[in-house]
Amino acid sequence: MKQQTIDILHMRPLFRLLMAVTLGTLTVAFPSCLKQNNDIPPVLPPGSGSISYNWPAIADTAEKSLDYFWSASGKYYLSSNTSGDWAQYWPQAHALDVLVDAYLRKPSDALKSQMNDLLTGVRAKNGNSFINYYYDDMEWMALACLRAYTATNDARFKGVCDTLWGDIRNGWSDDLGGGIWWRKDNPSKNTPSNMPAAILAARRYKAFGNIDDLHWAQRIYDWEKATLYDNTSGLVYDNIDKNGNKNTTWKFTYNQGTFLGAALELYKNTGNSQYLSDALQAADFTLNSGFLTSGGILKDEGGGDGGLFKGIFVRYFTRLIVDVTFDGSKKTGYVNFLRTNGESLWSKGTNKSNLLFGSAWDKAPGSSTDLTIQLSGIMLVEALAELKKGQMF
């Protein structure tokens, strides 16, 4: 524990010397330590009345901020930039996903090495195995490894994905009409343990052509839609317990994101327009219901596990925008929604003294933030970098 803390504290001064981001034609360097001004505003280009957001440059800098959380000795990410504790299994999967985002923008041997180091560290910390007690946690790791394999063609990532997918399928049972249990003591069947599995199965079908994977994706999705989805509103419920009691009150952005992500993958694989309609309905509920936004900004869902929720929604919402064609005005509205959130995060929700994101995307944090919160912020700026590259705004 002490060694982990020493590693990250030793790293910070070196990292802070590198902290610079280009905005428009100007460059702003960040202070090398926490000082009086913890909210340096984005720079206005000369003669401009509005802020210029250089999203690829911001994404580069945001990715470097992960150095704050890295344990060089353990080869995994810590729960916060001021902690010596590892961030548990499932945030490591999303950290791998974020590294893949950076690799897809700017492939490098260093990033590939970081991905492999992370797998080594996670396996060791997880009892020298990738198999985990939580089905949803394994699904996140399998999804990240599949993306890493597709990006790098490194067979190690495929091997991990294959191993995890074999164990995940054991979570399915006919209890409650089907679905995958949340964890291995079978207390409930949850959206987080079913929709990532459907996304995984559909993507595996696209990558490897095994028709059984597509059938798995369809079966899991059909159960979810019949059991944990409100067809009239687009709200995705969180779970149903083993006694059949359905939780219809929890409203989380990541449930909306994984549902629309699964619907999207099935639409891309089958061409069935109902899947696209489902995805759009779930997206519209998120943006328009008033439950999951405030003033056009995705709501603060706290730290810990909740810190990842918005980022997960953004990841799959971005795929909906980029990967398929639908009504142009609606797509423009979706893009503008992400831009509004990104501009709020960068101008209001970021402590620029040490590049930390807040759980509220309109309020800067202090000198510490959770890895989960930081990852969500990185996912948002990576999404905007991709949209900008694709000339979607």
**Residues 288-340: pLDDT tens digits?**
999 999 999 999 999 999 999 999 999 999 999 999 999 999 999 999 999 99
pLDDT in tens, 171-204: 999 999 999 999 999 999 999 999 999 999 999 9
Question: Predicted confidence band at 52 (pLDDT cuts at 50, 70, 90)?
Answer: confident
CB within 8 Å of 235: residues ≥ 6 apart: 229, 251, 256, 285, 289, 291
Residue-level pLDDT at 51 = 73
Residue 51's SS3 state is coil
Q: Environment class of residue 183 by beta-carbon count within 10 Å: exposed (0-12), middle (13-18) or buried (19+)?
A: middle
Instruction: State how far the Cα of 354 lies from the Cα of 352, in Å rounded to an integer.
Output: 5
The amino acid at residue 275 is Y
Length of the chain: 393
Tell me how far CA of residue 259 lies from CA of 194, 221, 253, 313, 368, in angstroms: 9, 8, 10, 9, 32
User: How far apart are the C-alpha atoms of 68 and 18, rounded to whole Å?
Assistant: 12
Please tell me the class of the 89-368 domain: mainly alpha
User: What is the model's pTM?
Assistant: 0.89
What is the enclosing helix (H) or strand (E) of 113? Answer: helix 109-125
Where do the structural domains in the chain lie, given as residue ranges?
Answer: 89-368
Q: What is the pLDDT of residues 79-121, one digit of tens each?
A: 999 999 999 999 999 999 999 999 999 999 999 999 999 999 9
With H, G, I as helix, E, B as strand and everything else as coil, classify residue 296: coil
The C-alpha angle with vertex 38 and arms to 37 and 44, in degrees rounded to 5, equals 80
